[in-house]
Structures are given as structure tokens and as C-alpha cells.
Amino acid sequence: MGLQGKAAVVGVADYKNERKYTGKRKFYIEQWAELTQMALADAGLVKDDIDGICCASIPESTLFAPATIAEYLGLQVNFAEMVDLGGASSVSMIWRAAAAIELGICEAVVCAAPGIPIPSNPNQGKRDPNRFYGSVSANWGSPQAEFDVPYGNVAQNVGYALIAQRYAATYGYDERALAKIAADQRTNAQGNPKAVFYGQPITIDDVLNSKMVAAPLHVLEIVMPCAGGSACIVVSERLARKSKNRPVYVTGCGERLTTRSVTYADDMTVSPVGPAATSAYEMSGKKPGDIDVLQAYDCYTITVLLTMEDAGFCGKGEGLKFVNENSLTFDGSFPVNTHGGQLGAGQAAGMAGGMSQPVEGVRQIMGRAEGRQVPDCNTALITGTGGIMSEQSVIILEGA
Amino acid sequence: MEYQRPQPEPTPTSEPFWTGLANGQVLLQQCDDCDKWVYYPRSHCPHCLSSHLVWKQVSGEGSLYSFTVAPQATAPQFANETPQLIAVVELIEGVRLNTVMVNVEPENLKIGMKVKPVFYPLDDSTLLYFEPH
């Protein structure tokens, strides 16, 4: 059962992350075309090889997104899917693509996540500010609008702060260990010229001296939003042999979601990463000790901590000790988010932040991570996290 | 355009809960089939999917499950309410809810502390806040 490891990522592409985007604004369908063209060139494949697409929502067409993209790119596809799992969407796109390929209904699927600003519409009136809370639904009948928002529990910071505070009360807290996650990842970003914080290393003290946003979370423990975007191409074994890159096979996957609001999670300190990772390990036959690099969705430092624990790299409640005992840098004892992660490289808009982790995992296994290459890197575990640790997906990637 | 402080918009399903708060009562749904308590209000029990949910008045007492102190407003709509003491409370019936802690200094908040309800009136509705018990 499960993936047989017969679909591989063979091409990737990404934009340079920019905090203040000054380039030409582009619609998401335009970015889809550009990223697909870049990823095909990277793979050494051509447009006519593509017969599948996996997307997240696009601002140009909230419904019928796959057909809009297919038409715009001039693709005729046998598999199309829009994934709606927040930050987990990108990782979930990749295993869906692999599954569709193994099923035999398609051979080459583009998974893309644009995140460069779209042109501003000169004819549009101002948006009602009272109906906008980031990713929070303010619609009538939405439980979140009725039972979260009126109490000020809006957007992501509050939920992750609640998790961190509960973790502290349950297992103890070491703010220097949490800060070390941000500092180590920032060190990794120094090897990634596309990172927004390239050329700007930080120390643990810098993190702890940064502004408190929602206790115990400091601003440097929270991702920096930016413009960016990335894509990858997943193909069959037959096409993988035609690619110029080392194929990176998708050998395991798992997914888990329970609640939208973390308030209602069975235990706030236990994330859905556990069941998703267990599925991926069982499918691939790998165990935590086999993983050469972890690319963990990192909207917050606490997200990385819970991911390391719940994916089995250390015991529950032992994450802080584990972080203190290991270096998370690309040349360290336990490399995590070698591109800097979203904490160090920036969180590109839309769902693009979560595509940066699989793209980096692929680059590491292909041996193309340049100034941040993990030596002899063959196996990566990639996680995607949506909402407040509410949607979770995991894939395991292995080099051929 | 001015920011307005968000207020709950009751639905036909949730209306008894909000009316209860306006009357100084905490009403919760309990499933007549599996006996579990339900929050937030629903049409069907999230434990067994029964539609036999019955409104019952409870004490509203519970304990602090988690909290955060936000020195800056979490959204511009809450600019007049800083620092926000946003909390999750677990009622003795076992359900958890989003809330705000009042009548307490931030440094005195402690996970596990006993809390009791405060019926907090807004223009058109009443929210369920909590204070130390």
C-alpha cells in the first residue's frame, strides 16, 4: 500500500525572495507560466511532457483554478487538483502528484506556488477593512468568525503563542533554545543568496532582544512575509530517466488534519505531525535516524520544535534539549531548513512559503545546494503546516 | 473607513448561547445520545454525530488552559484593548473556548488557575470573558 517510490521530482524553480518587491507585478497565472517554464528548463523537459497540474487557489479565479491555469499555459492535462490546506498545500501537492503518476493517469505534474504581488486593479474600490483578518474567515456562519474573532484571536500569532505557553507549562521552557532555532536557520540563510536575510546573520540574544509580539513569541521567531514563489515538476520513472538532474523520488507521504482552531485540539502541545510522519516513515521504510536533512515548515520557532518532537527526531518534551545539543546549520549535527527556512529566507506570499521546503530538499538531494550543501545528502523529510498546526503533511524524498 | 470592533453574529443554531450570555447564563449543548458536552454550538454532536443536542445551563467555571499577552493589538479592530489577555479556558464539563481574561494582572496569569465567567457586554451582544475564581 501507499506510494511505491516510482515518481520523482526532477526540476525546481524559484524566485528570489524580496521584502519590498520592486519588480514588475504579475498575475498568479503569469507566474504559473513563468515558474513552469523555469522548472521545465531546469529538468531538461519540454512543455508537451506536462499532463498534470496541482495548484493552490489563485486570486484571478477562486473557483475553476486548475482549468484557468491549464488554459492560460496551453496545457491539456489528465490530472488537475486545487489543494486547500494552507501552508501544508505545497507538500500535499507533491504527494498527490506522485500518487496520480503511480496510478498511471499522468506522467508529469507541475506543482507551483506563486507569491509575487499581482497588479493593483485601478477600478477596484477599497476593501472593507472590517471583513479582513488575514487567513481568518469573517463570513457569517463561520465558527471562527463567531467564536474566535470577537475575542481577538485572529491570524496566526495568537494561536502559536497559545501553543508555546501551554508547552512551557507542560514541559518547561528555554527561550534561548527556541531563539537558537531562529539563529541557526539564519546562519543557513547566509548560504542562500535568494533569502531576504542573506548577509544578515543574527545571534540568540538578537532574537531575545527583539520585540515581543504575543508572549512568548518575539518578532524574530516569526516569519517575515515577502514576495517570492517556487515550483517543482514531479514525473514518472520513464521521464525521470530523460531528465538531466538526479531524480528525487517521493517514497513516503502522510497527511493529518483535525481542527481549524487550535483551541479545540485534543492536546495543544501534540501536533498532527506525528500521524503524518508515521505514515511517511512506514511507506518509505525509513526511520528518523535515516533522514539526512529536515526541511520543516517554520512559520514560528515553536512549529519547528513540535515538528522535531512529533516526527520522532527526539522524545516528546525533549525538543529544547535536542536543539541545545545539536547544531541545526547545514554543516551541523542535525541540519534543518538549510535554505534558511521561512524564518531566514522569508515567507513568500500565497502558499509559496511552504513550497520552499520541498524545493530545498530536492536541491540538497540533487547536490545543487551550493554554499549550503549537506554532504552526502540522500534522504530528506519535508513537512508542511497549515493554519495553527491544524493541517499537516509530510513527504520523504530519496535520491535515486 | 473606520475599524469596528468585531462582534459575534449569531446563527439560528448558536442563538441560544448568545441569548444566554445576555441574560447572565452560560448555556452549553449536551448530547442526549452520548452525554458529551459540545462547544461551540452545533447542529450535530462532534463525538457521535447525533442531532439530539440539548441546551443546559452550567456554572461556567473552569481553568485556564493557555493564554498569551499581546502588547500590540492582534488586529487594528482591537487597538483600544491592549494589552490583550487572550486565553483558552477549559470548563469543568471538558469543553474549551476562546476568551479574554479580565480583572487580573498579566503577570498573575497561570495555566491551571481556576476561573469563573464574566459577562462582558458590547453594543449588540455579550461576550463570555473570565476572571480568577
How many CA atoms does the CB half-sphere of A154 hold within 13 Å? 25
Task: Tell me the pLDDT band of B85, cut-offs 50, 70 and 90.
Answer: very high
Is A163 a domain residue? no
Res A1: pLDDT: 79
Which three-class secondary structure state does DSSP give residue A359? Answer: helix
Q: Do A152 and B14 touch (CB under 8 A)?
A: no
Q: Select the residue of A149, A158, A263 nearest B6 (Cβ to Cβ).
A: A149
Question: At residue A223, what is the residue type?
Answer: V
Res A72: pLDDT: 94
Is A200 a domain residue? no
Distance from CA of A230 to the nearest CA of B (A): 30
| Burial zone of B97 (CB within 10 Å; 0-12 exposed, 13-18 middle, 19+ buried) | buried
Q: How many distinct structural domains can be found in chain A?
A: 1
Distance from CA of A262 to the nearest CA of B (A): 10
Residue A89, domain CATH: 3.40.47.10
Domain that holds residue A66: 7-119+222-399
> Cβ distance A9 to A358 under 8 Å?
yes
Is A260 a domain residue? yes
All three cell numbers of B50, joined, read 447525533
Is A126 a domain residue? no
Q: Do B11 and A158 touch (CB under 8 A)?
A: no
Is A370 a domain residue? yes
Percentage, residues of chain B above pLDDT 90: 95
Q: Which residues of chain A have pLDDT under 50?
A: none
Average of pLDDT values for B5-17?
Answer: 95
Distance from CA of A206 to the nearest CA of B (A): 19
Res A131: pLDDT: 62
Of A51, A86, A40, which is closest to residue A259 (Cα–Cα)? A86
pTM summary value? 0.95
Q: Do A129 and B1 touch (CB under 8 A)?
A: yes
B92-126: pLDDT as tens digits: 999 999 999 999 999 999 999 999 999 999 998 99
Range A124-150 burial, b when 16+ CB lie within 10 A, else e: eeeeeebeebeebebeeebbbbbbbbb
Rounded to the nearest integer, the mean pLDDT of chain B is 96
Which three-class secondary structure state does DSSP give residue A12? Answer: strand
Interface test with A, best of B66, B95, B129 (most A CBs within 10 A): B66
Distance from CA of B68 to the nearest CA of A (A): 5
Is A114 a domain residue? yes
Phi, psi of A272 (to 5 degrees): -70, 0
CB contact A263 to B (< 8 Å): yes
Domains located in chain B, CATH noted: 10-58 (no CATH), 60-133 (2.40.50)
Q: Give the position of cell 443546559.
A: B56
> Cβ distance B67 to A162 under 8 Å?
yes
Is A291 a domain residue? yes
Which three-class secondary structure state does DSSP give residue A122? Answer: coil
Q: Select the residue of A128, A148, A163 nearest B98 (Cβ to Cβ).
A: A148
CB contact A214 to B (< 8 Å): yes
